[in-house]
Structure 1
Amino acid sequence: MRALTWHGKNDIRCDTVPDPKIEHGRDVVIKVTACAICGSDIHLYDGIMPSMEKGDVLGHETMGEVVEVGPEIRTLKAGDRVVVPFTIACGECFFCKRGFYSGCERSNPNARAAEKLWGHSPAGLFGYSHMLGGFAGGQAEYMRVPYADVGPIKVPDGLTDEQVLFLSDIFPTGYMAAEFCNLKGGETVAVWGCGPVGQMAIKSAFLLGAERVIAIDTVPERLALAQASGATTLDFRNEEIYDRIQELTQGRGADACIDAVGTEPDIRSGFDAVVDRVKVATYLGTDSPHVLRQAIHCCRNFGVVSIVGVYGGLLDKIPMGSAINRGLTFRMAQTPVQHYLPKLLERITKGEIDPSFVITHRATLEQGPELYKMFRDKENGCIKVVMKP
């Protein structure tokens, strides 16, 4: 089959690789009908995620049609249309039973490697390094899905692939970011990063009762899309973000701040971001937490800082004195997608949201390598790429 594979920093190729097969009784194999490039994939493209190996199949935003079913599967059959969560979960361990599927104790066969870096291992992920399981991803013609009686959700008739594809990751992640803000109605939420996850966080914050959302970015197309969703937009290259948020909130600060950027902020966002980038380049640091620092300072006393942007290692010069003395709450997670799927599918079915609004480019797998670069460099108005094998 054809698939997008990793061969090193800035080197993504469309290769021919072996077709996946049933390896366990709880597996299914799907024929991929739609997949997407995620902002997290750009961390792989930029070479900052450890334990990638040449030839690894990429992708963790995937849906398709079931074509082969393991003997222990009773919930799916050949021909079913399904969306596959990017988190792989057994459904039976301590964490899965409590709804914390992204903390599954069984789905990462390389848990020891993750424990060395993070103390404990999260769940296995599709297409996202051998430290997180070495599972082949879904930017491919076919994909094997482990624990398929727990993960994939059936798609009702009448919904298109593009309406439901983002249930695999960015919609649950953006929704979780807003849910973490503990919204009761009438709040001001500031969102750093108007990429796909940020856009979903903006929509979700309004769905959950926010009165105002302040969206921060510098890419014109992203700011325009955020504004179309009802957000007040700030361009960090033209405005002092802290001062403007103080002005917009009468000096109190935002009720909640969402970091939807993570470890790779735009280097033009501030001098500290430049210093962070130098540290990373010279192996004196692992991550660039400019956005997190700013979000802490912009959050009101006893507010919430919600973190869904990806960080991989150690963060430097975080203003914990500000956070502690002002009573901030930090909420963060790799999204337990399975927990959110039923209620978010219901919102789509009811017409409350159509996540396809973020799609700007549609392509084939063969076009994937060039679109990785376009997405990373924010060229040609590229906000979200969907590929149809």
Structure 2
Amino acid sequence: MRAAIYRSFGGPVSIEEIDDPPCPPHGVIVAVGSTGLCRSDWHGWQGHDPDIPLPNVPGHELAGTVVEVGPDVRNWAVGARVTVPFVCACGECAACARGDQQVCERQTQPGFTHHGSFAERVALDHADVNLVAVPDAVDLDTAASLGCRFATAYRAVVQVADVRAGQRVAVHGCGGVGLSAVMIAAARGAHVVAVDPSERSRARAVELGAAQTCSDADGVTEMDVSIDAFGAPTTMRASLGCLRPRGRHVQVGLLGADDTPPVPMGAVIARELQILGSHGMAAHTYPAMLAEIADGTLRPQDLVRETIGLDEAPARLMALGEPSAGVGGVTVVRVAAIIGS
């Protein structure tokens, strides 16, 4: 199969012919239709997760069609249109038993623990736990964005922060995750303040429901909830700094190499701030999100700003560290000509 692959951290990413992945006994092989171009894959390529085995095929946001099924799979068949959370859970550990598959103790992640979806085919583990059927009304470009950025934002806003109508919500960083969070929080009736240095991203945030925008967090105060969707020590501290007493900070953006930044713990204690992490979303909680997509409450398709081909993916992946990368929404890589229903 054709795939984008790198053999050293920070090294060249190229399109090559490599072996098809073997099908796990408990998993499936998916012919990739679309896959998202995500900053998390850039972090992986940079070596911020040194446990990634090399050589590696990036890609963890995907949608496509099942083309092979392992002998231990009970609920899926060839031909199913599917997506999957970027955390593939084992279904058997203590976290999974609690329903917290997004923090599975034995999780696998395409593009990180094994070859990912910047390829014509990808192997997915524990299919009966992790696969999510893509409704006929949802195209594969949109479905690909659900596996990481949109679902991650949905869990952060709805399941972790418990955002409600009338609350004040700040979103720091308006790339794919941040714009998704803006849309989801606004759909819940929150007053959303979008913080991003890019004028283009701020304009998109307004289109998606933000009530206010600003280029930095100066003057942003008394927030009930604040979400760092970018992932940097500066945005993390700005998020904590804009909260009202007993406000909730949700860290979604990865911090990259600087993942142990100083935290103003004195203010956290004195103001009884809550610091919450949010990491993906379990497959069994997708139905509520899909129902809101089906009835038009949420429109993740509005976040897809452009589509590119697999041949363009290596250069675009390597450029994700540039300041303008991610401005305005989600870029989707169309891998195979099976887009649509």
TM-score computed with the length of structure 1 as normaliser: 0.80
Question: Contact 1:10 / 1:47 at 8 angstroms: preserved in 2?
Answer: no
Counterpart CA distance in 1 for 2:11 and 2:207 is 33
Question: Contact 2:155 / 2:281 at 8 angstroms: preserved in 1?
Answer: no
Could you report, residue by residue, the CA deviation over 1:22-53 in whole angstroms, capped at 9, with x for unpaired residues?
A: 232x1111111111111211212433331334
Match of 1:114 in 2: none
Amino acid at match of 1:194: C
Match of 1:279 in 2: none
Three-state SS of the structure 1 residue aligned to 2:130 is coil
Shift of 1:328: 0.6
Could you report, residue by residue, the CA deviation over 1:43-95 in whole angstroms, capped at 9, with x for unpaired residues?
A: 12433331334420111001110111111212110111001211011223211
Question: Contact 1:88 / 1:151 at 8 angstroms: preserved in 2?
Answer: yes
Match of 1:48 in 2: 48
Shift of 1:156: 2.0
The equivalent position to 2:136 in structure 1, one of 151, 157, 177, is: 157
Counterpart CA distance in 2 for 1:190 and 1:335 is 20
Counterpart CA distance in 2 for 1:325 and 1:309 is 25
Counterpart CA distance in 2 for 1:46 and 1:92 is 32
Structure 2, unaligned runs of 5 or more: 336-341
Three-state SS of the structure 1 residue aligned to 2:44 is helix
Match of 2:293 in 1: 348
Question: Contact 1:217 / 1:223 at 8 angstroms: preserved in 2?
Answer: yes
Q: Per the alignment, do residues 339 and 333 of structure 1 end up closer, same or farther by CA in structure 2, a change over 3 Å counting?
A: farther
1:60 matched to 2:60: yes
Within-5 A mapping of 1:132-151? 134-151=113-130
1:298 matched to 2:277: no
Question: Contact 1:153 / 1:341 at 8 angstroms: preserved in 2?
Answer: yes
Counterpart CA distance in 2 for 1:49 and 1:385 is 23
Question: Contact 2:63 / 2:141 at 8 angstroms: preserved in 1?
Answer: no
Within-5 A mapping of 1:80-159? 80-105=80-105, 107=106, 123-128=107-112, 134-159=113-138
Within-5 A mapping of 1:274-289? 289=233
TM-score computed with the length of structure 2 as normaliser: 0.91
The equivalent position to 2:161 in structure 1, one of 181, 184, 187, is: 181
Question: Contact 1:169 / 1:337 at 8 angstroms: preserved in 2?
Answer: no
Amino acid at match of 1:185: A
Amino acid at match of 2:95: F
1:201 matched to 2:170: no
Structure 1, unaligned runs of 5 or more: 108-122, 129-133, 247-252, 264-288
Match of 2:149 in 1: 170
Counterpart CA distance in 2 for 1:342 and 1:376 is 33
Within-5 A mapping of 1:216-227? 216-227=195-206
Counterpart CA distance in 1 for 2:157 and 2:71 is 39
Match of 1:357 in 2: 302
1:338 matched to 2:283: yes
* Structure with more contact order per residue of length (Cα contacts < 8 Å, sep ≥ 6): 2
Counterpart CA distance in 2 for 1:2 and 1:103 is 31
Counterpart CA distance in 1 for 2:104 and 2:52 is 21
Q: Per the alignment, do residues 354 and 185 of structure 1 end up closer, same or farther by CA in structure 2, a change over 3 Å counting?
A: closer
Could you report, residue by residue, the CA deviation over 1:208-239 in whole angstroms, capped at 9, with x for unpaired residues?
A: 331x1111111222111101112111112xxx
The equivalent position to 1:245 in structure 2, one of 220, 224, 229, is: 220
Amino acid at match of 1:87: V
Counterpart CA distance in 2 for 1:380 and 1:302 is 32
Counterpart CA distance in 2 for 1:316 and 1:142 is 38
Residue identity (%): 32
Question: Contact 2:307 / 2:331 at 8 angstroms: preserved in 1?
Answer: yes
Runs of 4+ in 1 over 4 A off after TM superposition: 379-382
Match of 1:269 in 2: none
What is the alpha-carbon root mean square deviation over aligned residues? Answer: 1.9
Amino acid at match of 1:364: G
Report which of the two structures shows the higher radius of gyration computed on alpha carbons: 1
Corresponding residue pairs, total: 330
Within-5 A mapping of 1:16-55? 16-24=17-25, 26-55=26-55
